[in-house]
Amino acid sequence: MKRKPLLNTERIVALFCLALSVWIFYEASTFKGSALDSIGPALYPRLVASIIGICSIALFIKERPREDTAESAGEAPKANGKASDYKSLVIVVFALIVYSLLLKRLGFIICTILFLFSLSLYLDQRELKEKLKTAIGFSVGMSVCLYLFFAKVLGVLLPTIGLIH
Amino acid sequence: MYSYRFFLEGILNSLHPMVLVYMAFGMCWGMIGGAIPGISASVAMTLALPFCYGLDPMLSLPMISAVYIGAEYGGSIPAILIKTPGTASNAATVLDGYEMNRKGQGGKALFTSLYSGFVGGTISVLLLVACVIPLASFALKFGPTEYFWMILTGLSIVGTVSGKSPLKGLIAAAFGLLLAIVGTDKFASVTRFTFGIYRLREGLETIPVLVGIFAVGEVLRQVFRHEKSEAITAKVTVTYPTKKEFAAITPLAAYGGIIGAIVGALPGAGATIASWLAYSQAKMLCKNTETFGTGDIRGVAAPESSNNAVPAGALIPLLALGIPGSNSAAILMAAFGIAGISCGPLLFVNNPSIPYHLMGSMFVAQIIMLILGLLIIKPFVRITRINKVYLNLAVLMFAMIGAFSTINDVFAIYVLIFFGVVGFLMKKFGFPPAATVLGFILGELAESNLRRALQLSRGSFGIFFKGPINIVLIIITITGVLFPVIADQVKKKRKAE
């Protein structure tokens, strides 16, 4: 007979939440209160952390892993995703971060064109020849339109190249 | 009655050209955003939030609520034409709407959705006006303990009702409260959870967090799932219901409007629940309901009237108590925050023109919706032909610029990205982001009321359990939390048997 595993995804999540609540509870002890305030800045965070802690423990207990995997999460099995799904996700997040890093150096228009162009090529599933045209048109057109609309019409101070030198 | 006179003044104020222009923009954006599957009412509203900065609240608040109202109608368009609800609240509309389309009555279904939405929404605004003053007067008696319990009640109900797991919902709500703690404690001038990051001293900015969790999180989810969009190829011509059909759907739409208003007013219950409830009520109460599901016009009228009624209903607790009645109403509350106005009964004491103007504008919005509703069908059909990749990239750009514009610093974009990932992970592991957003928006109020109460009682927690209103709120909280948990357990036991 198969031995029932101690942990499943749900329980790991519950433990994570529990760890979070414990960490917050501890972190709250570093908040020094002033003499005038009888309550202190740590009470409320600790209250909230306790709620999270109690709920995580209850969640841990509730999600007892069962032998048949269809029941193991108590809900319809979510496709956990192949590696390729995560890859797209990571690339998009990475692109967003790189965009933010380069924004002040390259200025809004150039940065946006690069960002949109690279992601268009990466995410669009069509043939290279087909999507190249769209990608160029979209990235340049969108950047310019966004700049004109937000910087000129709405007055948002978007970074321009040469700001930091 | 005083309130009706002020309401009429509010309507007149809304007829000012600038207000109408902003409302029309908001309405168009809401309709198109709501019609694009993947952009919900919440996402559409959060993307519009950055535009509220520096805008007069008499313009920004009607604009955001117009987005809300527009999105609830807009979502019916793809529901009817391509069997895909534009927002979750249009899922019930698919049942009969798509069947009507298959029978060649798609145009009639679209008009029915618009008309029922108009009827339901108008009734809901009238209910709003009737209820909000008595409720607000009652709430003026609230002290800090009552407010604290009320926030806790709203949060715990939202936590347990949204999403699949009540426990996860509560954790999500509490997490939202934690996010609100980040920053400097006003009472003790101590920085909390800022990790030495200078820019966090003022706390987390609302817009990067909201737009991150909703808009960016949703885009990341679609990238993860490689979702493709379906294009509409058939031509759509709008036709009108017959006199008999009008007679059948009008009272139904009115009833749906009442349902939507009440459900909208309950924290945690929004347009999705309202639309299903109205659909099931229609099935129960109408005659000859065998045709439901095969293209019965009433099957479109019921859910569409109630989901359009939810925005005004959600405004009832928001204006009177300061507790948003739905997830999207929480975003409207953020719009109030951007304008520096706090919701709650004191709103009627300090700034009475604002809530009445908002209520008046919602009434006018129904008429604007009726006019614009048919005009956007053609542009929408064109938009569905756009590859989803480009739509998502456009959403990301709007999100980033919106976040950047709040503090003119790239830091806001980092926050946006961070919460985009958080929103994605939360959805993946079954935590409702709506509960977190509500906790984040209400968090500061919760803590300040808690501490004010404790200062009044000199540290004694007993003050929270004295007074009839407190006791009632505690009972509501406990039943509200335990009920879904127990119902969950009962359902599981029945399944096992």
Is pLDDT of A91 > 70? Answer: yes
Given CA atoms A66, A70, A72, A75 in this order, what sign does their dihedral have?
negative
Q: Is B55 on the interface with A (CB under 8 A)?
A: no
| Amino acid B373: pLDDT | 87
Measured CA to CA, the distance from residue B366 to residue B117 in angstroms comes to 8
| Amino acid A77: pLDDT | 41
Contact (CB<8Å) A120/B390: yes
CB atoms under 10 Å from CB of B458, counted, come to 9
Note whether B58 and B356 are within 8 A (CB): no
| Amino acid A3: pLDDT | 59
Q: What are the chain B neighbours of A33 within 8 Å (beta carbons)?
A: 188, 190
Confidence of residue A82 (pLDDT cuts 50, 70, 90): low
| Amino acid A163: pLDDT | 47
| Amino acid A23: pLDDT | 93
Contact (CB<8Å) A48/B400: no
10 Å CB burial of residue B233 (0-12, 13-18, 19+) is: exposed
B388-406: burial string, b at 16+ Cβ within 10 Å, e else: bbbbbbbbbbbbbbbbbbb
Measured CA to CA, the distance from residue B303 to residue B274 in angstroms comes to 7
Measured CA to CA, the distance from residue B271 to residue B44 in angstroms comes to 15
Contact (CB<8Å) B226/A48: no
Q: How far is CA B186 from the centre of its chain?
A: 30
Note whether B399 and B212 are within 8 A (CB): yes
| Amino acid A151: pLDDT | 83
pLDDT above 90 covers a percentage of chain A that reads 36
Contact (CB<8Å) A38/B187: no
Measured CA to CA, the distance from residue A55 to residue B488 in angstroms comes to 16
Probe site for chain B from A43, A96, A104, A117 (most B CB atoms < 10 A): A96
Task: Tell me what the mean pLDDT of segment A81-110 comes to.
Answer: 88
Probe site for chain A from B199, B220, B390 (most A CB atoms < 10 A): B390
Task: Tell me what the mean pLDDT of segment A2-16 comes to.
Answer: 79
| Amino acid B302: pLDDT | 93
The CB-based long-range contact list for A55-59 (8 Å cut-off, 24+ gap) reads: A55/A17, A55/B167, A55/B168, A55/B170, A55/B171, A55/B174, A56/A14, A56/A15, A56/A17, A56/A18, A56/A21, A56/B171, A57/A14, A57/A18, A58/B167, A59/A10, A59/A13, A59/A14, A59/A17, A59/B165, A59/B167, A59/B168, A59/B171
Measured CA to CA, the distance from residue B37 to residue B77 in angstroms comes to 10
Helical H segments across B15-143, by residue range: 17-35, 41-48, 57-74, 76-82, 91-102, 106-139
- Residue at B15: amino acid letter: L
Q: Is B485 on the interface with A (CB under 8 A)?
A: no
Query: Tens digit of pLDDT per residue, chain B (497 long)?
Result: 567 888 888 898 889 999 999 999 999 999 988 888 878 888 899 999 988 888 899 999 999 999 999 999 999 988 888 888 888 889 889 889 988 888 888 888 999 999 999 999 999 999 999 998 888 888 888 888 988 888 888 888 888 877 778 889 999 999 999 999 999 888 778 888 888 888 888 889 888 999 999 889 989 988 888 766 666 666 677 788 888 888 889 999 999 999 999 989 888 778 888 998 899 888 888 888 788 888 889 999 999 999 999 999 999 999 998 888 888 999 999 999 888 888 888 888 888 889 999 999 999 999 999 999 878 777 777 776 777 888 889 999 999 998 998 888 899 999 999 999 999 999 899 898 888 988 998 888 889 888 888 888 888 888 888 888 889 888 888 887 787 777 777 777 887 76
Contact (CB<8Å) B171/A146: no
Q: Is B496 on the interface with A (CB under 8 A)?
A: no
Task: Tell me what the mean pLDDT of segment A106-121 comes to.
Answer: 91
DSSP annotation of B297: T
Q: Is B414 on the interface with A (CB under 8 A)?
A: yes
Q: Counting one residue from A and one from B, how many pairs have CB atoms under 8 Å apart? A: 150
Q: What is the pTM (predicted TM-score) of this model?
A: 0.84
Domain definitions of chain B by residue range: 2-496
Q: Is B175 on the interface with A (CB under 8 A)?
A: yes
Residues in chain A, total: 165
Given CA atoms B77, B80, B82, B86 in this order, what sign does their dihedral have?
positive
Nearest CA in chain B to A124: B389
ipTM of the modeled complex: 0.87
The CB-based long-range contact list for A132-135 (8 Å cut-off, 24+ gap) reads: A134/B387, A134/B390
Residues in chain B, total: 497
Nearest CA distance, B401 vs chain A (angstrom): 8
| Amino acid B137: pLDDT | 85
Helical H segments across B140-242, by residue range: 144-161, 166-181, 206-211, 217-225
Contact (CB<8Å) B421/A93: yes
Q: What are the chain B neighbours of A34 within 8 Å (beta carbons)?
A: 187-190
